[in-house]
Structure 1
């Protein structure tokens, strides 16, 4: 009898229990932000600011390194190291995680409208963000590495926000609202075009699908919107891709190895896709969305009319996005598997894409919807819960054992570098290695300083602090 009462109590308070569980899972991940340290490219972009000024560095980078004008701007303006603030990366890591949840909250509120209360929308957004973190194969890049968050994750948020702005534009009642949402969609598209090549491809595919559906349904206003945004993306994306800095980078960056022929590019693409489609997240996500079946039925009345799509079409778009998004990397990179930061964004596309695809495929009448049986949903919910708790468990261990010592050691290194840079500007500095730390592939970066002065992390640190070179002492 007490067990039955406990079950009924848990059922009555399930929303509060879920909220408490998600909040507890997020706490160690957020707490680790306060031990975060700058890494690799965080130093190099801020050095350009020191050499050319905050605004002078924009044309310099466009001409000499990268045509990604939007992310170039964020890398300089939002980088705490541009202002000499090493500890600022702790704040940027915290803000980025909160902003990811905020973007998902906006998406849920716009699409579900009044069918979900605010606290339910907030819980769903926080849960989806936690699920993404759990499934992202390279968590340091997604959570704590400022440069990769700005270059890839902010751009990934635009893949959500631009279609949402278009949806609000279609529902706007007043001329002012239509202009405001139209402007938001335009600005988001222009920003996405200057973010990175993967975002250009994925957003271009979304705009192409919107154009095709509007043409088939003879929705001429909608067609003008999608075509207009597509032309904007094409123009500014071409400007970004053909920028002189991209050609100059090929001469400077040894990691870029353009494919010599169509056959080589096709071979690279096949290998990259073979690795990508066996990622655990890519395999389990289409099944895990069944857990959301009852919720999808509940918010079905709020579904935008244009979002009714066959599941086969949505699946083809999702797979096509992964394939087309991998093409730029097959053309320019010889390495396998796909670079970590791009793989994370593919998982973001796959996660949100399958949720939307499943919802879009439901019949208009909620009475006709067939959801998975309670037993299947309970089983999948248990699997989902275990997956989502995994990063929290890792974070708690890092917080207890590795993070404080990792932060102390890097603060010691920074202090030594400061002293060497201020008193002996042209010096060679040797730093001790980090003590043995367990890298749980969450908080600690994949690379440390090297005994070789020319290693990437070493040269960026040396330049930023004004020393001739820095290397790691070899343990005897």
Structure 2
């Protein structure tokens, strides 16, 4: 039985860790501004040609990501709400926490509310701790729509699927299946990374229920059909051929790409196990896992799977998430892809751990590590936590940008730039921003006045030319 003092300290620690991850994102959110990269191009297209026509241009001319295209063509800039970008990262961060809780709430249904909240908080903390690019996860709208939004939708979809099986027959169950289908449609229509992961995951679950359980599952059949139709809509887009044709890298080597994907996965998992507190958190999670797989647990059936098979599928799904980068581009995955990969690595890790705990328990090998040696486990966790926070690139960057005042300076100068751009003029000369905080900044306009970013921004504001000139005092010239 856990000592009350230890329990209280653990609760306080979890709250502090959650706030360490959540508060900087929340505070930085209100310093956020639209990026010169893509944000103004989407907005200018939508304002100039209309919402639906803008999506048609991109579907036919650049990418088939129909759902993320819809999101970026309906951004606050399109509606003239410049300050709306200050709220997007906060909303997305909160949505991610909510999606994680929805899934944890289903998987840990027999646990107390306190335990479910703590597991949610620690998972979110680890995800933020391991971010390779904070700006691409929460602050750059184009990347958020293509990577973070479908990740949130996929996590929430898994919660909806689990919930469907315990609903009584009736209208609500039917509507839930329709809702799940929409989540599949939206997630796959946002980007290829989640498309690969989600389709393979649905096929794996459907295959297991057909082959091992001999059950025909109408929900999964429905979701797989929706997934294939959604993928067809994405890949049939004329813009995809144009976009892929612009890629000059060496790609398309199947076997080599598979080998490189598993190699990159092994390297990444090794770094994550060292640099994040996955291992000590796993030790502390074992008592919960034992309760989840014991007789009488309301979720026991969710974890009664062949442990070896689950582990193989888990690794295969993660490698498949990396595969499009090597096969399509011939290079390792971008930071934004690695952000997504860690989310499913972390969620999958604790699911696979629970399955293995159940398998060992059924063999009569009871795991009582934490109960037998509580002091060493807690001490290991404390040391590992401190080390993980110290080496975390994302936590360090966010802290520096906030404490140094760089985020506030960037916010102030970008606000002033927006005011200058709102003035009526043919040519606008702007000074470069003095600081570019890496946690919230990705791209700026260029000295070349004909650069795509400059042209998109000048078009949105109704100017002929925008010039970035470090020697010029910012003003507008009629």
- The TM-score, its normalising length taken from structure 2, stands at 0.85
Q: How far is the alpha carbon of 1:259 from its aligned partner?
A: 4.8
Q: How far is the alpha carbon of 1:267 from its aligned partner?
A: 4.3
1:236-266 deviation per Cα after TM superposition (whole angstroms, max 9, x unaligned): 2112112112123345xx4x33656x44x65
Aligned to 1:430: 429
- The CA distance in 1 between the partners of 2:128 and 2:185, in whole Å, is 27
Aligned to 2:105: 109
Which of residues 287, 301, 321 in structure 1 aligns to 2:279? 287
- Structure 2 residue ranges without an equivalent (≥5): 473-478
1:251-299 deviation per Cα after TM superposition (whole angstroms, max 9, x unaligned): 5xx4x33656x44x65456556545543332665663533322232344
C-alpha spacing 1:306/1:292, structure 2 compared with 1 (3 Å): closer
- The CA distance in 1 between the partners of 2:4 and 2:159, in whole Å, is 38
Aligned to 1:3: none
Contact 1:66 1:245 in 2 (8 A): yes
- The CA distance in 2 between the partners of 1:305 and 1:345, in whole Å, is 28
- The CA distance in 2 between the partners of 1:184 and 1:369, in whole Å, is 40
Q: How far is the alpha carbon of 1:234 from its aligned partner?
A: 1.3
Q: How far is the alpha carbon of 1:412 from its aligned partner?
A: 2.2
Aligned to 1:208: 203
1:132-172 deviation per Cα after TM superposition (whole angstroms, max 9, x unaligned): 01102111111222221121111112322223222222211
- The TM-score, its normalising length taken from structure 1, stands at 0.85
Which of residues 445, 448, 451 in structure 2 aligns to 1:452? 448
Which of residues 144, 147, 170 in structure 2 aligns to 1:149? 144
- The CA distance in 1 between the partners of 2:265 and 2:469, in whole Å, is 37
SS at match of 1:278: helix
Aligned to 1:382: 383
SS at match of 2:323: helix
Contact 2:21 2:124 in 1 (8 A): no
1:174-209 deviation per Cα after TM superposition (whole angstroms, max 9, x unaligned): 323321321222111222231211111101111121
Alignment of 1:90-109 (within 5 A): 90-109=86-105
C-alpha spacing 1:112/1:435, structure 2 compared with 1 (3 Å): same
Segment drifting more, 61-70 vs 7-16: 7-16
C-alpha spacing 1:442/1:312, structure 2 compared with 1 (3 Å): farther
Contact 2:413 2:433 in 1 (8 A): yes
- Structure 1 residue ranges without an equivalent (≥5): 1-6
Q: How far is the alpha carbon of 1:105 from its aligned partner?
A: 0.9
Aligned to 2:226: 232
Q: How far is the alpha carbon of 1:362 from its aligned partner?
A: 2.0
Contact 2:429 2:468 in 1 (8 A): yes
- Equivalent pairs counted in the alignment come to 453
